[in-house]
Amino acid sequence: MKPDTVVRWHRDAFKTFWRWKSRRKRPGRPSLDPEVIALIKRMARENQTCGAPRITSELLLLGYVVRDTAVAKYMPRRKHGPPSQRWRTFLKIHMAETAGESCTST
């Protein structure tokens, strides 16, 4: 066995060890406790008018430090009804009124 071979083995082992040691365990932020998620859903369901910032501040008063984005992620989606009309539709409907007003006002 040559000394270069032993040195190469040590270098490879050192690289492998530190690659393993410095790997990321789980990418991203840690997930919230299921208890906090259930609390967010309950607060959002019982207070329909409260948004994520309000629920975040209420959770902070209870001792839970959570960001607005995390609260918004776990809030149930609200159904508001039919979608509003598009801008082009609005212009078609009101073009005569808008053009008529601008011509009579001069």
- pLDDT digits 0-9 by tens, 40-88: 999 999 988 888 999 999 999 999 999 999 999 998 877 766 667 788 8
Asked, for residue 49, whether it belongs to a domain, the answer is yes
What is the DSSP secondary structure assignment for residue 48, as one 8-state letter? T
**Does residue 26 form part of some domain?**
no
Model-level pTM? 0.51
Show the domain range for 46: 31-77
Q: Provide mean pLDDT across the span 81-103.
A: 73
Q: Is there a domain that residue 64 lies in?
A: yes
- Give the SS3 label for residue 32: coil
Residue 40 domain-assigned?
A: yes
Domain annotation covers residue 45: yes
Alpha helix (H) residue ranges in 22-86: 34-46, 52-62, 68-74
In a domain, 43, yes or no: yes
Structural domain total, the chain: 1
Q: Where are the beta strands (DSSP E) in the chain?
A: none
- Within a domain: residue 15? no
102 domain-assigned: no
